[in-house]
């Protein structure tokens, strides 16, 4: 009998009695059996008239109500557990995202700084090359202008000298044949001198141009070497940055995926709970409507209608799909108890001579009111309103005053058991925390919080909640610390790479300094060349003076001078062709410079694209 009572009580309450000796359990069961036997009554008119509150089903009803209260509380704290879990996951995901953004921003910032330095160096080299090309072009244009001016000047002087020589010879009264002979000799000699001067001038100019082209080719070669090395450095940097970014992205994605998966699982469980709640709500509404019909039929004395409504409720509860709903399944016994009680009351009333509808209606109303209070208590617990839930459950129990004392005693016993279990869970949580197992500690503290909800010792609940918050803070700090260590390691690697690149940049700066020195040397050579050109021009003027003196002696060779002029024109044409060839070479050099510029621009664009990615 004791074993049967124990099993029945454990099944009705939904929990086991722990923490008591066998003797104490036997005493508790004896008290419960005594109260239960005292509460069992027969349905008689006297009982209805005098003590209608002593229905035999009150104790099972109260026990079931207590079981429902425990289930509702468990659902409430389960929901809070999943919400806390989801908030922790969201916080962790935000921490990962914030850390990932900080690392990517730092990498981009460093890459942009290095790119800016590289662009400044390239721009400086390009500026020097452009300046050198401009000076070379100016020198070519100046040389061509001076050659043309010198040629025109010599022709004019030769014409003037020939005219003077002709006049002088004519004044001497020599024959025409002799005059033409002497003018021709004079012109020939003059043209030889002019050709000699022009050839010397052109030779010096061509030598200067060749030297300048050689210097430009050397400068371009050095610049190309610097550009090639910069491209290799850029490619290595891009590969390293891409590799690091892929590794970080892969790592972050894996961790985010794990968090997302955990969050999705928790969300799925919550959604399942909500779906169950919605389905249970629909069934509860149907059952409540049926009870309303039963009450209306009893008040009207229409017992057949009331019996049919009771049968409708039984059909609903007998559906396997409806029995699969957790809350409905837990309440099957109490629902069947209420329906059985109502059927007994109706059956007893039919067999009696009296038709005391008020007593029967009051009895039915008592049962339905108790059920309604249990229903409201469940809704309040599901909404997180634990105070209102307790108030409704207490009202349901208070409607059955004969067993209220037994229920209160059971509450005290269970509260003590739950308080002891809560203390044990806190001790286990502290032990897990000392071992560094935060997940186990958090689980133990949550169990302590669940078991301390219905105890009078709220310090245990407060302590459990405080410890839960502390463990959550430790988990977040541990997560942040782990990400900080990763960031510090990444920063060290990046700083090392930056140091290596800085050394390479220093080497490039050294090469650039050498190039600048080379450019300065070339500028000095250019100035020296210009000086020589000026000296050559002065020498040409001296030669011109000598030629003027000789013109006075060569007037008699004026006839031959025309032929010499024609030859000089041919030489000038050839010189012009050579100058054009030189210009084509200069244009080819400029195209090479343009190609170098395009390659530099492509390199800069690729680095910019890398940063933008």
pLDDT one-digit tens code per residue, 61-80? 444 445 444 444 444 554 55
Is pLDDT above 80 for 163? Answer: yes
User: Which residue from 455, 320, 415, 590 is spatially nearest to 18, judged by alpha carbons?
Assistant: 415
pLDDT at 363: 57
pLDDT at 35: 45
Average pLDDT over residues 598-607: 76
Average pLDDT over residues 307-318: 84
Q: Which contacts of 473-482 are long-range, i.e. CB under 8 A and separated by 24 or more positions?
A: 474/438, 475/88, 475/438, 475/442, 476/88, 476/91, 476/92, 476/95, 478/438, 479/92, 479/95, 480/95
Q: Which contacts of 305-314 are long-range, i.e. CB under 8 A and separated by 24 or more positions?
A: 306/342, 306/346, 307/343, 307/346, 310/339, 310/342, 310/343, 313/287, 313/339, 314/339
Cα(593)–Cα(605) distance, integer angstroms:
18
Q: What percent of the chain has pLDDT over 90?
A: 0
User: Which residue from 580, 572, 548 is spatially nearest to 164, judged by alpha carbons?
Assistant: 548
Is pLDDT above 80 for 523? Answer: no
Residue 513 lies in a domain: yes
pLDDT at 75: 47
Cα(582)–Cα(585) distance, integer angstroms:
5
- Lowest-confidence range among 69-73, 249-253, 268-272, 495-499? 69-73
User: Look-up: residue for tokens 């129990």?
Assistant: 397
Phi-psi region of 21 (alpha: psi -120 to 50; beta: other; left: phi over 0): beta
pLDDT at 607: 74
| More confident of the two residues 381 and 501 | 381
Residue 116 lies in a domain: yes
Residue 227 lies in a domain: yes
C-alpha 329, offset from chain centre: 47
Q: How big is the chain, counted in residues?
A: 613
Residue 279 lies in a domain: no
pLDDT at 528: 76
Locate all alpha helices (DSSP H) within 399-436, ordered by sequence. Answer: 404-435
pLDDT one-digit tens code per residue, 397-426? 665 554 455 455 556 767 777 778 888 888
What rounded mean pLDDT belongs to the chain?
A: 68
- Lowest-confidence range among 262-266, 336-340, 522-526? 262-266
Residue 313 lies in a domain: no
Cα(129)–Cα(274) distance, integer angstroms:
75
pLDDT at 5: 41
Number of domains in the chain: 1
Residues 486 and 102 sit within 8 Å (Cβ to Cβ): no
Cα(56)–Cα(274) distance, integer angstroms:
36
pLDDT at 172: 80
Residue 314 lies in a domain: no
Cα(122)–Cα(230) distance, integer angstroms:
9
Instruction: Extract the runs of DSSP E, i.e. beta strands, from 412-555.
Output: none
pLDDT at 251: 74
Residue 556 DSSP one-character state: B
User: Which residue from 97, 454, 417 is spatially nearest to 255, judged by alpha carbons?
Assistant: 97
Residue 359 lies in a domain: no
Is pLDDT above 60 for 345? Answer: yes
Is the pTM above the cut of 0.85?
no
Average pLDDT over residues 265-291: 71
User: Look-up: residue for tokens 């509702």?
Assistant: 72
- For 470, residues 6+ apart whose C-beta sits below 8 A from its C-beta are none
What 3-state class would DSSP assign to 557?
strand
- Lowest-confidence range among 25-39, 194-208, 499-513? 25-39
Average pLDDT over residues 309-338: 78
pLDDT bin (cut points 50, 70, 90) of residue 4 is: very low
pLDDT bin (cut points 50, 70, 90) of residue 434 is: confident
Residues 589 and 213 sit within 8 Å (Cβ to Cβ): yes
- Lowest-confidence range among 168-177, 234-243, 546-555? 546-555
Average pLDDT over residues 490-510: 66
What does the buried/exposed string (b/e) look like for 326-365 if buried means 16 or more CB atoms within 10 Å of the residue's CB? ebbebbebbbebbbebbebbbebbeeeeeeeeebbbebbe
Residue 464 lies in a domain: no
Residue 568's domain comprises 92-256+499-612
Helices and strands (H, E) in the chain, number of each type? 15, 0
Q: Which contacts of 576-585 are long-range, i.e. CB under 8 A and separated by 24 or more positions?
A: 578/202, 578/206, 579/144, 579/147, 582/140, 582/206, 582/209, 583/140, 585/213
- Lowest-confidence range among 190-199, 318-327, 373-382, 435-444? 373-382
């Amino acid at each position: 009998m004791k074993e049967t009572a124990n099993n029945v009580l454990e099944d009705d309450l939904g929990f086991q009695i722990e923490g008591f000796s066998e003797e104490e359990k036997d005493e508790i069961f004896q008290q419960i059996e005594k109260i239960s036997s005292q509460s069992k009554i027969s349905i008689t008119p006297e009982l209805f008239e005098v003590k209608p509150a002593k229905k035999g089903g009150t104790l099972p009803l109260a026990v079931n109500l207590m079981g429902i209260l425990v289930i509702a509380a468990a659902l409430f704290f389960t929901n809070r557990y999943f919400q806390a879990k989801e908030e922790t996951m969201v916080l962790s995901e935000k921490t990962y995202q914030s850390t990932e953004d900080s690392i990517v921003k730092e990498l981009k910032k460093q890459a942009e700084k290095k790119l800016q330095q590289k662009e400044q160096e390239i721009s400086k080299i390009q500026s020097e090359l452009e300046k050198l090309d401009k000076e070379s072009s100016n020198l070519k244009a100046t040389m061509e202008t001076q050659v043309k001016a010198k040629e025109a000047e010599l022709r004019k002087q030769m014409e003037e000298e020939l005219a003077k020589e002709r006049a002088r010879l004519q004044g001497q009264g020599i024959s025409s044949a002799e005059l033409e002979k002497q003018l021709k000799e004079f012109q020939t000699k003059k043209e030889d001198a002019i050709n000699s001067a022009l050839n010397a001038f052109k030779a010096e100019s061509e030598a200067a141009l060749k030297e300048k082209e050689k210097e430009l080719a050397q400068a371009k070669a050095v610049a190309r070497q610097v550009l090639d090395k910069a491209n290799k450095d850029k490619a290595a940097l891009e590969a390293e940055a891409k590799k690091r970014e892929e590794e970080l992205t892969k790592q972050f994605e894996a961790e985010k995926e794990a968090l997302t998966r955990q969050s999705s699982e928790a969300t799925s469980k919550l959604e399942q709970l909500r779906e169950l709640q919605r389905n249970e709500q629909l069934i509860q509404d149907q059952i409540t409507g049926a009870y309303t019909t039963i009450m209306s039929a009893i008040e009207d004395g229409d017992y057949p209608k009331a019996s049919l409504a009771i049968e409708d409720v039984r059909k609903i509860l007998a559906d396997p799909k409806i029995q699969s709903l957790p809350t409905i399944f837990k309440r099957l016994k109490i629902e069947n108890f209420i329906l059985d009680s109502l059927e007994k009351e109706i059956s007893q009333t039919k067999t009696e001579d009296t038709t005391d509808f008020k007593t029967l209606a009051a009895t039915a109303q008592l049962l339905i009111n108790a059920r309604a209070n249990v229903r409201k208590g469940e809704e309040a617990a599901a909404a997180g309103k634990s105070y209102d839930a307790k108030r409704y459950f207490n009202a349901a129990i208070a409607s059955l005053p004969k067993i209220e004392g037994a229920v209160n005693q059971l509450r005290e016993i269970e509260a003590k058991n739950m308080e002891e279990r809560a203390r044990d869970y806190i001790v286990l949580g502290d032990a897990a925390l000392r071992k560094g197992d935060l997940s186990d500690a958090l689980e133990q503290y949550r169990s302590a919080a669940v078991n301390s909800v219905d105890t009078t010792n709220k310090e245990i609940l407060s302590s459990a909640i405080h410890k839960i918050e502390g463990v959550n803070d430790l988990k977040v700090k541990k997560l942040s610390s782990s990400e900080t260590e990763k960031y510090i390691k990444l920063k060290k690697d990046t700083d090392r790479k930056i140091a290596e690149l800085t050394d390479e940049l220093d080497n490039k700066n050294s090469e650039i300094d050498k190039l600048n020195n080379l450019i300065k040397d070339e500028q000095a050579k250019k100035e020296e060349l210009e000086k020589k050109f000026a000296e050559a021009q002065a020498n040409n003027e001296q030669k011109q003076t000598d030629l003027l003196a000789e013109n006075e002696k060569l007037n008699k060779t004026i006839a031959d001078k025309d032929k010499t002029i024609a030859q000089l024109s041919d030489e000038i044409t050839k010189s012009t062709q050579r100058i054009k060839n030189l210009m084509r070479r200069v244009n080819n050099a400029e195209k090479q410079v343009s190609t170098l510029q395009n390659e530099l621009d492509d390199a800069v664009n690729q680095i910019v694209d890398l940063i933008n990615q």
